[in-house]
Structure 1
């Protein structure tokens, strides 16, 4: 599906003066998929059809991202995002869910697991921010206030498109994917919101979780594209060590956007993690890594 078809599936829920756009498909135990920066819920569109055959899949756009509220005057930090998602789950009547987070979505998932443990039945972190691994230089530059004045939306799009294509994928992304991932930010309103999102990135908000990660008590999987240059695999190794019982799944020939580089390997890891025995076939791109991903970590 292209990004317009995906957006047409989105619903909206109001949270006080703000609103969150989200996709809600399938039946069964709930799974919440959290995207990172500079993407939105469309990041998960390749896995949504297969995963929604076995689970209720909920994919929110974070506040300030995608087609959720992008107005001025609110905190966009990962700590505030976790609070907003707690309220969003409450509005939808979801007690707890398996939470899967990529990039800053992984940082938000860590906040949920530590600060709102009742919300998280299982935790999966994919090429996630953690400790002081972030923000990367590209996001530091994007978050400079002068970007709003100096660069047009088209210029920001060109910069991000080049960076994602060059460094985000180990295999050539499908036609239109990168443009779709950046589509909400193609306007001046979208660009300004994305700059504010980048300005809100604060490594202190993962560092403050470090003493509490050893107290995470839910089944945890760390799934990592091992060729990632944005979040190198050493950070996944450390996460798998710090969280009791966590296991690291290394996905070969995959970079930051591992769910597009190696969708079959990622779905294999997710199905195994979620306990799916009868696994639907994943349609779309064939994986270049036919082997089952390697699993490492400590078991406590």
Structure 2
């Protein structure tokens, strides 16, 4: 399937057994809790906190203890994406997972921009209010663009970065996103795509839905995940407008000109990339590896797609801990 064929969202799913045959984690996990269970939506209802700031009322999870890892989710998801990663890392890190402005359960201040640069500023303020000086970053999708901006603006606040499939300067926004951007310009994206997916979970999981494009396991995303991700984005006209605004913030290229600054960064970086992703370019992991001075290399997951951190949290946790111990 060509990357521009976003409307059709063709592409099959791959059984978990095949996936794990390709990317075996190893004889023993490096992460903190091998028996950890993914958090549920009910868990999130109890664990979710809010921070009042000039940017709005920021929704977030704060779990674990020790040095802090900041987890940055994709679009149109929220911090529920990290429900499997967080419980696997809480024995080693304090895990902070905010919802970006315009997504999830964060309530955005009136008139506040939700573009990637403003998201990075929100994160800096968020950490300041928690008196956190530095963090490790784990990022996916548009969260990876925000991670790059944050690292360039605040290099002394970033100890390490684990990138999963995400924007890079030559591929931001990716051509596959053009139909979504056009709908957002018309103000119709939530009603044309998100509302039907929310109302018909099988459609959301079909080849023409979120599941067919972004997930490799059958049955993904789950009913619970669809509700958690999409319900807040379409609950009112104001939230639909913010969803469109988040989309439009991804264009023009928010990473234009950033390569020269990324080449100056010294923190260790690891790249884990799902190679069955038809949204972001397959050359992007090599690009990141080539420009980050302290890259620790690439792990390629042959059958994984864009949102694989949600499906294979043990791989993300394993790679994060290896990076921290390198």
Q: Same fold, TM exceeding 0.5? A: yes
Cα drift, residue 130 of structure 1: 1.2
For residue 281 of structure 2, what is the aligned residue in structure 1?
A: 232
Q: 1:267 aligns with which of 313, 317, 321?
A: 317
Deviation at 1:64, TM superposition (A): 1.7
Q: Deviations over 1:166-214 (max 9, x none)?
A: 1101112263233333232241243232111112112432122122111
C-alpha contact 1:157 1:185 (8 A) present in aligned 2: no
2:182 is equivalent to residue 141 of structure 1: yes
Asked if the contact 1:148/1:195 (under 8 Å) is kept, the reply is: yes
- What is the CA-CA distance between 1:4 and the residue it aligns to? 4.0
Per mean C-alpha deviation after superposition, the further-off stretch among 115-124 and 154-163 is: 154-163
> 1:168 maps to what in 2?
214
Secondary structure at the residue paired with 2:75? coil
Unpaired runs of at least 5, structure 1: 277-300
Check if 1:183 corresponds to 2:267. Answer: no
Structure 2 unaligned residues grouped into runs of 5+: 1-38
- The CA deviation at 1:230 is 1.2
Distance 1:149 1:263 in 2: 28
What CA distance in whole angstroms lies between the structure 2 residues aligned with 1:140 and 1:17?
24
Q: What is the TM-score normalised by the length of structure 1?
A: 0.84
Query: Distance between the aligned counterparts of 2:189 and 2:72, measured in 1?
Result: 26
1:105 aligns with 2:146: no
Deviations 1:79-115 (A, max 9, x none): 1110111111011000000011111111111011111
Task: Give 2:103's aligned residue.
Answer: 65
Is 2:59 the partner of 1:10? no
> What does residue 28 of structure 2 align with?
none
Question: What is the CA distance between 1:264 and its match in structure 2?
Answer: 2.7
SS at match of 2:107: coil
- SS of aligned partner of 2:195: helix
Distance in structure 2 (CA, Å) of the matches to 1:228 and 1:105: 16
Question: Structure 2 CA distance, aligned partners of 1:14 and 1:141?
Answer: 33
Deviations 1:33-76, CA, capped at 9 Å, x for gaps? 00121011111111111111211000001112111124541111
For residue 298 of structure 2, give the secondary structure of its aligned residue in structure 1: strand
Secondary structure, counterpart of 1:179 in structure 2: helix
Equivalent position to 1:30, from 37, 61, 68: 68
Taking the aligned partners of 1:261 and 1:148, their CA distance within structure 2 comes to: 26
Distance in 1, matches of 2:252 and 2:74, equals 15
**SS of 1:132 mapped into structure 2:** helix
Q: How far off is 1:257 after superposition?
A: 0.9
Q: How many angstroms does 1:6 deviate by? A: 1.3
